[in-house]
Amino acid sequence: MKIRPLGDRVVIKRLEAEEKTKSGIVLTGTAKERPQEAEVVAVGPGGYVDGKEIKMEVTVGDKVLFSKYAGTEVKMDGEEYTILKQDDILAIVE
Amino acid sequence: MKIRPLGDRVVIKRLEAEEKTKSGIVLTGTAKERPQEAEVVAVGPGGYVDGKEIKMEVTVGDKVLFSKYAGTEVKMDGEEYTILKQDDILAIVE
Amino acid sequence: MKIRPLGDRVVIKRLEAEEKTKSGIVLTGTAKERPQEAEVVAVGPGGYVDGKEIKMEVTVGDKVLFSKYAGTEVKMDGEEYTILKQDDILAIVE
Amino acid sequence: MKIRPLGDRVVIKRLEAEEKTKSGIVLTGTAKERPQEAEVVAVGPGGYVDGKEIKMEVTVGDKVLFSKYAGTEVKMDGEEYTILKQDDILAIVE
Amino acid sequence: MKIRPLGDRVVIKRLEAEEKTKSGIVLTGTAKERPQEAEVVAVGPGGYVDGKEIKMEVTVGDKVLFSKYAGTEVKMDGEEYTILKQDDILAIVE
Amino acid sequence: MKIRPLGDRVVIKRLEAEEKTKSGIVLTGTAKERPQEAEVVAVGPGGYVDGKEIKMEVTVGDKVLFSKYAGTEVKMDGEEYTILKQDDILAIVE
Amino acid sequence: MKIRPLGDRVVIKRLEAEEKTKSGIVLTGTAKERPQEAEVVAVGPGGYVDGKEIKMEVTVGDKVLFSKYAGTEVKMDGEEYTILKQDDILAIVE
């Protein structure tokens, strides 16, 4: 079973939500804006979304920072995922 | 009798709303955002909707995740359907 | 006497507002969103409305579902009509 | 003396505001949305208004339905007029 | 000394604010919307304002009706002027 | 040291804020809207700002009127400046 | 490890937040609007962001002024950074 996101949506798998993440980034900021680290597991096709051209910049396997409260969580095969718009992804961690 | 949705609207038939759905996806998240699983039964033509070009990405028979409170419910021939905008569909489950 | 709607407006004649309509559709949903069944009696020319290209998708005689509280009601020659924007029409019932 | 409206504005002269108008249309609806019957006395040039192309669809002499509280009233040579945007006109009565 | 308005702004000199204006127009309406009569004394170049093409329709010397509370007042050489956007001008009085 | 504003921003140096300015303009209006006189000291490149084409109309040395509370103040080399969007400039005083 | 911002986002490293900054600029204004000085450490690719063309005007190493509360803070390798949209950058200090 697979989730294929529509438009400019992206499916990500959240990494550690602890203060000190695996990669060594300590996430700070207000609760509302505190970013989370995650791995991209599926990427929508982009294209014209709501009449605007959206080019997907992330690819499967990317480590990304995203806004904690963005998107919708689903659990599949025992794992939790988040479906969110690419614009809710702040940056790729390399 | 058939419902033919206008523009970028889609008619879907909701699948199990229980915690554990048929396909094994457990839907979590806030009540307001909790997604639902459904099957697409009719798809609008898309095209220019409110002056923006909308390309339909779902087709009849697709299993989709959508926001629980999106759209409008109608009952036809004893079955309940939901009419919603394609943008309220989060992802296709394959 | 005839009402000719402007732009993307449509004039419709509401059908039964009862729980069980003529066509057998039972309309449910919240009061605010409960759709109504109606017949289209006049269709605006569409074209550029507020700078956006609107193509009319309904034609006179179509049975449609629309949001109950959308539009403005007028009575003419003893009959009640509703003038609303095409975007407030959810679907055509065939 | 003449009022020449700018852009997509229209000057109309309100007809009877009574429940039963001259043309036999009885206007109903909520107070906020109750339409009024009027005659068009001057029409703006349309064209690009706020960067959007507006094509004027009404002409001088048209009987129109408009939202009661739309626009601004002015009195000139003893007669009252209303200046409003064409988009506040719902339909032409023929 | 001269004020040269930017973009789609216009400088006007307010005429009588009394109930019965020089030209014989009696201005009515709610206080918030009551129009005022004025003479145009300077006109911005128009062109692309905030990315939208604005064509100036008024010229110096025009008598115009405008929304009383629109724009900003300045006093220069003992005279009061109002700087406002052309869109706040309702009509030209001829 | 120099401040180079981005996009459609402009750096201005506020002139007298007193009721009667150097140039003889007396500024009136509500506190929120009371304009200020200033001299332009730096002008952004304009171009596509937020996807809209902005053409800069002011140049260094222009005396301008601007909305008092617009923009952000910075002090540099003992002098106070304001950084604001060109659209917050009402007019050029010549 | 490196942060690569998406779209029109920029990663900056905040310089002194004190009243008198290194470069001699004293930052004033309301708390909400008080600008901060920072150095640009990474710049997104720009391009079409949300359907609008954004051209990046800052480059790595630029000293910039930005709105204090704009963006999201992250700590990486013991250093604090801020990820923000280029539009939240007011000016480049040279």
Q: Domain G9-93 falls in which CATH fold?
A: 10 Kd Chaperonin, Protein Cpn10; Chain O (2.30.33)
Lateral strand order in the sheet of B72-76: A3-5, B89-93, B63-67, B35-43, B9-14, B79-85, B72-76, C25-27
- Bridging pattern class, strands E9-14 and G3-5: unpaired
Angle at B67 between CA B62 and CA B70, to 5 degrees: 100
User: What residue spans define the domains of chain F?
Assistant: 9-93
Q: Which residues of chain F have pLDDT under 70?
A: 1, 16-34, 50-51
Neighbours of chain A (3+ CB pairs under 8 A): B, G
CB pairs under 8 A between D and E: 74
Q: What are the pLDDT digits (tens) for D46-65?
A: 887 767 778 899 999 999 99
Q: At residue G78, does pLDDT exceed 60?
A: yes
**E4 and F93: CB-CB below 8 Å?**
yes
Q: Which residues of C touch B50 (CB under 8 A)?
A: 52, 54, 87
Using H for helix, E for strand and C for coil, what is the string for C6-42? CCCEEEEEECCCCCECCCCEEECCCCCCCEEEEEEEE
Is any Cβ of chain G less than 8 angstroms from the Cβ of A90? yes
Residue in the block written with tokens 């952004």? F44
Is any Cβ of chain G less than 8 angstroms from the Cβ of F16? no
Contacts of E78 (CB under 8 A, 6+ apart): none
At residue B32, the pLDDT reads 41
Contacts of C43 (CB under 8 A, 6+ apart): C5, C10, C11, C56, C58, C59, C60, C86
Quick check: helix, strand or coil at residue C90? strand
Say how far apart CA E46 and CA E75 lie, in whole Å. 24
Lateral strand order in the sheet of F79-85: E3-5, F89-93, F63-67, F35-43, F9-14, F79-85, F72-76, G25-27
Q: What are the pLDDT digits (tens) for G28-67?
A: 554 444 578 899 999 999 887 766 778 899 999 999 998 7
Widest distance between CA atoms in chain F: 40
Q: What are the pLDDT digits (tens) for E39-53?
A: 999 999 988 776 677
**D35 and C83: CB-CB below 8 Å?**
yes
At residue D27, the pLDDT reads 57
Neighbours of chain B (3+ CB pairs under 8 A): A, C
Q: Which residues of chain B have pLDDT under 50?
A: 18-19, 29-33
D with G: touching (≥3 Cβ pairs within 8 Å)? no
- Percent of chain A clearing pLDDT 90 (strictly above): 39
Q: Which residues of C touch B4 (CB under 8 A)?
A: 91-94
**A25 and G50: CB-CB below 8 Å?**
no
Is any Cβ of chain C less than 8 angstroms from the Cβ of D54? yes
Q: Which residues of F touch G86 (CB under 8 A)?
A: 6
**B6 and C94: CB-CB below 8 Å?**
no
Nearest by CB to residue F6, choosing from G35, G57, G67, is G57
Residue of C8, C54, C69, C72 to mutate for D, most D C-beta atoms under 10 A: C72
Q: Which residues of C touch D24 (CB under 8 A)?
A: 1, 76-77
At residue E62, the pLDDT reads 97
Mind telling me how many Å the CA of A29 is from chain B's nearest CA? 22
Assign A65 a pLDDT band (cuts: 50, 70, 90).
very high
